[in-house]
Amino acid sequence: MDRTDWIERTLSSLSAAPLFDIPQPYICHFAAKWRNLLLPLPILAVINPPSILKSVGHLPAAETNSSIRLIAPRLIAIDMDGTLLGDDGHVSARNLSSLRAAEAAGIQLAIATGRRHSFAMRVLRPLGLHPDSILISSNGTITRTLGAPASLQGISALPIPSQLLARTHLPHATALWLCAHIRGEGDQDFRNALVLTFDRTQPDGEDSRGALVVERLDHLTASISRWMAANEPYLLQIHPIERALADPSDPPIQAMLCGTLQRMARAEARLLEYPGVTASTHIHGQPSHKVVRRSSNSDETDHQLSLHRTEYPARNLSIIDILPANCSKGAALLSLARARNIAAAQILAIGDNWNDISMLQAAGRAVLMDNAPEDLKALARARNWRIAPSNRDDGVAHAIESTLTVPR
């Protein structure tokens, strides 16, 4: 039974059944009104919670006891690292099967990642997803279609290029201010933890050298050695780093600070002392969107930035993505949804870390992975978000399969 038939049969049954002695014409009028409302929207159905999640204790108590939930999303947004990808950096067979099943059901897929486009495509390109599936990269600064290489299109077929849908840059003056502002003495000098990212994506989805610019290599190599090695073909070391910003018409799309949890907490705190800088992640375990003002007459109020933190406590690693103001995975996701005429209530978002919180909050349905930080899981329970099995246990497949097995 398809989605439209399900609505029609349910409302027809309602019209035919006596209901609290309400005159039949009123019931028919009510059913007609709800038919017009429900057909373009996700179904509100009375169903049992997904048994596969309930059986392993991954549903918050408030949701386990509820029998009403929204179903049939039209857009599913999925984080990559720690969510879609296993600890080995690959997509499991079950997760891939669930992605293909969602596409076959006509659901728009959007992969939303902190990775830049080409680094994400290394993993996504071989999967054979639909060329019109979406990649939101660099934590929301870039939105492109996946496209497809010729090798996946059959013999003699032409490649399908990725299409740029949206892009946001750091203002040139703000990027210069940032480089100067994080300078300090000793361990308070965060320039050795800084990476500037430029959009150098070619039609084939690959980057060129200079997509990533650093001033120093030693600290970053110690913090994120595998990432540095994998991205060596795209790295440029420029000293001082301001020389990479010599052309005002070619600003970066974002900046990034990497280091230990404690050191990055200090870096974030310094940035948040100044007007115009907001954190969409958390401070001391609490979600925060607050602008902390130090001086009401400072000329630095012209510089607007948004901080997005990703933490890996087991590795003592924190990554702070520094984006243009109001830029996030959630903002990019809602912009995409508006362009596709999809309501926020029709979005399912799946993530595992604090840089996913904007899209989890934006979506009508949010699913958090069990491998998420404990303070984020506490927030998820408070907000009645689902907690799916971990990325090691195909949590993405669990979430998508539970969506596809209910009436559409």
- Is residue 154 in a domain? no
pLDDT tens track for 98-119: 999 999 999 999 999 999 999 9
What range defines the domain where residue 142 resides?
51-148+163-168+332-404
Please state, in angstroms and as integers, the Cα–Cα distance from residue 166 to each residue in 36, 66, 148, 400, following that order.
Answer: 33, 39, 19, 27
Task: Extract the tokens encoding 375.
Answer: 């303070």
Pair 98, 403: CB distance under 8 Å: no
Q: At what angle do helices 3-16 and 24-38 cross, to 10 degrees?
A: 170
pLDDT greater at residue 385 or residue 61:
385
| Banded pLDDT at 153 (limits 50, 70, 90) | low
How far apart are alpha carbons 217 and 49 in whole angstroms?
50
Same domain assignment for residues 183 and 316? yes
Pair 123, 129: CB distance under 8 Å: no
Query: Quick one: what percent of the chain has pLDDT higher than 90?
Result: 63
| Banded pLDDT at 148 (limits 50, 70, 90) | confident
Same domain assignment for residues 138 and 71? yes
Same domain assignment for residues 309 and 204? yes
Structure confidence at residue 292 (pLDDT): 37
Q: How many domains does the chain contain in total?
A: 3
Structure confidence at residue 62 (pLDDT): 31
Structure confidence at residue 3 (pLDDT): 46
Same domain assignment for residues 187 and 266? yes
- Is residue 45 in a domain? no
The count of residues in the chain is 408
Pair 184, 271: CB distance under 8 Å: no
Same domain assignment for residues 351 and 276? no
Average pLDDT over the chain, rounded to an integer: 81
Please state, in angstroms and as integers, the Cα–Cα distance from residue 241 to each residue in 75, 195, 218, following that order.
Answer: 40, 9, 15
Structure confidence at residue 160 (pLDDT): 87
Q: Is pLDDT at 71 greater than 60 in this prediction?
A: no
Give the mean pLDDT of 262-285. Answer: 81
How far apart are alpha carbons 144 and 125 in whole angstroms?
13
Pair 268, 283: CB distance under 8 Å: yes
* Among candidate residues 271, 299, 324, the one where a domain is terminated: 324
- Is residue 7 in a domain? yes
Same domain assignment for residues 245 and 289? yes
Give the mean pLDDT of 380-401. Answer: 96
Give the mean pLDDT of 213-242. Answer: 94
Task: Extract the tokens encoding 149.
Answer: 């290489």
CA-closest candidate to residue 388, choices 14, 142, 5, 76 = 76
* Among candidate residues 273, 300, 324, the one where a domain is terminated: 324
Same domain assignment for residues 78 and 213? no
How far apart are alpha carbons 319 and 355 in whole angstroms?
10
pLDDT greater at residue 110 or residue 26:
110
How far apart are alpha carbons 206 and 327 in whole angstroms?
23
Q: Is pLDDT at 90 greater than 80 in this prediction?
A: yes
Residues 6+ positions from 241 with CB-CB distance below 8 Å = 179, 191, 194, 196, 213, 214, 215
Structure confidence at residue 191 (pLDDT): 96
pLDDT tens track for 320-379: 999 999 899 999 999 999 999 999 999 999 999 999 999 999 999 999 999 999 999 999
Structure confidence at residue 406 (pLDDT): 57
Using CB atoms within 10 A of its CB, is residue 65 exposed (0-12), middle (13-18) or buried (19+)? exposed
| Banded pLDDT at 282 (limits 50, 70, 90) | very low
pTM of the prediction?
A: 0.77
Beta pairing class for 254-259 and 317-324: antiparallel
Give the mean pLDDT of 262-273. Answer: 93
Same domain assignment for residues 61 and 127? yes
How far apart are alpha carbons 71 and 199 in whole angstroms?
37
- Is residue 378 in a domain? yes
Same domain assignment for residues 136 and 196? no
- Is residue 46 in a domain? no
Q: Is pLDDT at 291 greater than 50 in this prediction?
A: no
- Is residue 173 in a domain? no
Structure confidence at residue 398 (pLDDT): 97
Same domain assignment for residues 273 and 349? no
Pair 72, 408: CB distance under 8 Å: yes
Three-state secondary-structure class, residue 283: strand
| Banded pLDDT at 301 (limits 50, 70, 90) | low
pLDDT tens track for 49-70: 333 233 333 333 333 333 334 5
Pair 366, 349: CB distance under 8 Å: yes
CA 106 to centroid of chain Cα atoms: 21
What H or E segment, with its residue span, contains residue 318?
A: strand 317-324
- Is residue 86 in a domain? yes
Same domain assignment for residues 139 and 188? no
How far apart are alpha carbons 54 and 373 in whole angstroms?
21
Same domain assignment for residues 187 and 319? yes
Pair 322, 330: CB distance under 8 Å: no
How far apart are alpha carbons 350 and 75 in whole angstroms?
11
How far apart are alpha carbons 218 and 193 in whole angstroms?
9
